[in-house]
Structure 1
Amino acid sequence: MKKIHLIRHAKSSWKDDSLTDIARPLNKRGKKTCRFMAQYITDAGCCFDHIFCSPAARAQSTIERISKSLNLDLQWQTAEQLYTFDSEFLFDWCRELDESITEPLIIGHNPALTDFCNEVSNSTVKNIPTCGYAQLSLSKDCSWQELAEGAAKLAVFLRPKKMTK
């Protein structure tokens, strides 16, 4: 069965207003939350075999810090198309996945991730928070090309504020 794993980048810094949006780094809280959430995300069944990450600095730092926290040498691909705030772009991107990929992990941005999660699973998640995690289980026979609204169920949803510290 196919699954889609979604991680929203951790909390970013707005300290330096000369930086472009794509260049904004994580703030102190974001760095701490990556360390804190890494094990919860792993324990929830996140698969790290095929990781695709937005080119934004905050998204890249999120997966780097999760990798370090888990003491793993995770490898990921930067996908320019994942620097989006529109769920339709995520649908289009997923429909292009190779069928040999059964559990992509996407590190990206809101509102695209929350909207995509809700549309593909008919869920009512109000917001995937920074460093939040969602796992979507697809119907058995669904190919990536056929990915459509309602094709999955929301299997796991983790919010940092709801996790035990």
Structure 2
Amino acid sequence: MKVLHLMRHADASQPAPGKSDRERGLGPRGRREAREAGERLMEVLAPLPLYCSAALRARQTLAELCTAWPALAGEPHVIEEALYTFDVSALMHWLMARNDDLESLFLLGHNPGLTNLVNHLVPAAGLSHLPTAGYVQLHLAIDSWACLGDAQGEVALGIFPES
């Protein structure tokens, strides 16, 4: 069995004039959401390495998670250009190329890709929208990430911000 941890970045500010989408940072609400998510995740998860989109708002979400969850800061995190995507096919391709020595993966990324990924891997989930700073843990009945396309999974845990 493989375990997939998925988290959407926290609430981002509107882009400043002349800045690209990838340069959008967190607003005050987003910083608060990310810290609260870190506090809640710390209660139910052991710290683990995290693969993070290269977008500023995702990197800032990771920084706030680590502030609230100091043990997470000690893990080796990877800023991954390929995770700055909104496309479920790109996410599937990236995941299927992972090393099978990794029993679990934690991705911090973007919608609609993450919502669509949950619904692709667990059709019964019926997730309409993964909210900002929302987290979902999937248990997948596979032994190899390369078999992800055939995965039969279940949602084991969901943690969403209290708005």
Q: Are the equivalent residues in 1 in contact too, given 2:100–2:143 (CA < 8 A)? A: no
Aligned with 2:10: secondary structure? coil
Q: Does 2:37 align with 1:37? A: yes
Partner residue in 1 for 2:27:
27
Q: Does 2:90 align with 1:89? A: yes
Partners of 1:129 and 1:18 lie apart in 2 by 27
Over the matched positions of the two proteins, sequence identity in percent amounts to 29
Partners of 2:15 and 2:97 lie apart in 1 by 37
Q: Are the equivalent residues in 1 in contact too, given 2:137–2:158 (CA < 8 A)? A: yes
Aligned with 1:116: secondary structure? helix
**1:65 offset after TM fit, Å?**
0.7
Q: Deviations over 1:47-74 (max 9, x none)?
A: 5423101000000010111011112324
Q: How does 1:72-111 map to 2 (within 5 A)?
A: 72=71, 73=73, 74-111=75-112
Change (3 A) 1:20 1:153: same
Partner residue in 2 for 1:12:
12
Aligned with 1:22: secondary structure? helix
**1:16 offset after TM fit, Å?**
1.5
Change (3 A) 1:18 1:96: same
**1:150 offset after TM fit, Å?**
4.8
Q: Does 2:109 align with 1:116? A: no
Unmatched runs of 5 consecutive residues or more in structure 1: none
Partner residue in 2 for 1:3:
3
**1:142 offset after TM fit, Å?**
3.2
Partner residue in 1 for 2:161:
160
Q: Are the equivalent residues in 2 in contact too, given 1:119–1:150 (CA < 8 A)? A: no
Partners of 1:134 and 1:35 lie apart in 2 by 17
**1:44 offset after TM fit, Å?**
3.3
Partner residue in 1 for 2:127:
125
Partners of 1:135 and 1:124 lie apart in 2 by 14
Partners of 1:17 and 1:151 lie apart in 2 by 44
Partners of 1:135 and 1:59 lie apart in 2 by 18
Count of paired positions: 160
Aligned with 2:42: secondary structure? helix
Partners of 1:114 and 1:149 lie apart in 2 by 18
Change (3 A) 1:149 1:26: farther
Partner residue in 2 for 1:144:
145
Q: Does 2:59 align with 1:71? A: no
Aligned with 1:147: secondary structure? helix
**1:151 offset after TM fit, Å?**
2.3
One-letter identity of the residue aligned with 2:148: L
One-letter identity of the residue aligned with 2:42: T
